[in-house]
Copies of this chain bind each other. A is one copy, B any other.
Amino acid sequence: MCDFTLTQELVIPGTSKMVMLIMDGLGGLPMYFGGGTELETARTPYLDALAGHSTCGLMQSISAGITPGSGPAHVSLFGYDPVKYQIGRGVLEALGIGFHLGPDDLAARGNFCTVDAAGLVTDRRAGRISTATCMALCERLRAIKLEGVKVFVEPVKEHRFVLVLRGEGLEQEISETDPQKLGVPPFPACPLVPQAERSAALVNEFAAQARELLKDQYPANAILLRGFAKYPAMPTMNDIYGLRAAAIAPYPMYRGLARLVGMDLLETGDTIEDEFTCLEQHWADYDFFFLHVKHTDSRGEDGDFNAKVAVIERVDEQIPRLMKLEPDVVVVTGDHSTPAVLASHSWHPLPFLLYSRYCRPDHLAAFGEFQCGRYGSLGEFPAVDTLPLMMAHALRLAKFGA
């Protein structure tokens, strides 16, 4: 059954306030032999002081050695088993552009591609056409009509777009049309279960009409579709934890992930300072805040150690504003590691602190991977434990058994 059944039965209402501050891709690695990680290198007096009064540890997003994408990493943080609640690529791509998916939607990730006179794929990305061209071509594809479903074609970036079919009875179990190699024609979409036959036929009809509409648009003269996925039905954080939860997240992907678990999406400016202003403004309205900082990950993905350090320092400067609100529980961590030295997400567990009047302080000297690993009493623990720990420290979970 559900992993959170136990917690769910124990939830008690309350007015305590919790903040989950996520620096995307926070975890790091030393750039050179004997050096510190990005977080260890950053000057973070406020986070260091907070860590000294917190229960700390190293948080594992999924399981040993597994590098998570943003989807499963956040699903874990929100308290859901990330292997059970997998979110398909089509849905994530739609969330990433802020497309408002509903329960009847079947989403897919699309690429514009190039095919030759014989219909064989010669470039899976159509020479990475400009985003402006992509927008124009998406507009053209919107002319496609399919029997019984509404069609949405939304540009993403360069050659990428999102296709959403909206209608009853659509199924995600269909094979991808992207052959993942050159010199062959795009594959037909095939049903992988009998109920998906109509969905596959609709996709093939869309692809055929697209081919016709794009035939004179070289190099973007065909499309490839993959990651067919329906909007997953997930119990909300209100269902599970009885929380009025709100997300402060400027980026569409994270707003989408937050909406997936039933959070309200607050309007916020783009800067880190704006996000904390948003928190202050809505402090009275919710009892759980997910505050997401994107650029720690972006600078890590760029491989720019110093720029990632600078983002962490900017977040640190906001900590006094957060603490002035007198939150009952604060968690500071990331969703996954993005060491600049790897310039990509990684499997390394995350530095983690949980502050509350009722936590047992581990008396760390500073907030960092080494300190959390060596002195954190939580040890290495799974991300799905975070929400129950927050709820407990907020005095929102009743006794189990008599």
Residues of A within 8 A of B (CB): 6-7, 10, 29-30, 37, 58, 62-73, 82-83, 86-87, 89, 92-93, 227, 339, 341-342, 344-349, 358, 360-363, 369-370, 373-375, 377-381, 385, 388-393, 397-402
User: How many subunits of this chain does the assembly comprise?
Assistant: 2
* Separation of A161 and B361 alpha carbons in the complex (Å): 42
Find out whether the CB atom of B389 lies under 8 angstroms from the CB atom of A72: no
Tell me if A's interface is mostly helix, strand, loop or mixed: loop
Find out whether the CB atom of A347 lies under 8 angstroms from the CB atom of B66: no
Closest to A339 in B: B358
Find out whether the CB atom of B66 lies under 8 angstroms from the CB atom of A388: yes
Residues of B close to A6: CB separation below 8 A: 62-63, 66, 83
Q: A58-B377, A64-B389 are in contact. Are A69 and B400 (CB under 8 A)?
A: yes
Find out whether the CB atom of B65 lies under 8 angstroms from the CB atom of A385: yes
* Separation of A363 and B305 alpha carbons in the complex (Å): 22
Q: Which of B342, B380, B401, B402 contacts A379 (CB 8 A)?
A: B380
Q: A402-B70, A402-B89 are in contact. Are A29 and B358 (CB under 8 A)?
A: yes
* Separation of A348 and B347 alpha carbons in the complex (Å): 27
Find out whether the CB atom of A7 lies under 8 angstroms from the CB atom of B388: no
Given contacts A7-B66, A344-B399, A363-B370, 18 further A-B contacts (CB under 8 A): A6-B66, A29-B358, A62-B400, A64-B381, A64-B385, A65-B385, A65-B390, A65-B391, A66-B388, A67-B398, A68-B401, A72-B400, A82-B400, A92-B402, A93-B402, A227-B402, A349-B377, A379-B380
